[in-house]
Amino acid sequence: MRKMCDVLEVSRSRFYAWLRTPESEHSRANRVLLSEMRIAFDRSRQTYGSPRLTVELNESGVSCSENRVARLMRLGGIRAIGKRKYRVTTNSNHNHPVADNLLNRQFSVDQPNAVWLSDISVPQQAV
In this prediction, residue 126 carries a pLDDT of: 62
Which residues, in sequence order, are CB contacts of 49 under 8 Å at separation 6+? Answer: 73, 80
Three-state DSSP class for 85?
coil
The pLDDT tens digits of the residues spanning 69-93 come to: 999 999 999 999 988 889 888 888 8
- The whole-angstrom separation of Cα 107 and Cα 22 is 79
In this prediction, residue 117 carries a pLDDT of: 75
Helix H or strand E encompassing 13? helix 12-20
Q: Domain map of the chain by residue range?
A: 2-76
CB 85: neighbour CB atoms within 10 A? Answer: 5
What helix, strand, coil percent values describe the chain, rounded to 5?
Answer: 45, 0, 55
Query: Of 45-49, 54-58, 96-100, 114-118, where does mean pLDDT reach its minimum?
Result: 114-118
For the chain, the C-alpha Rg in angstroms (whole number) is: 30
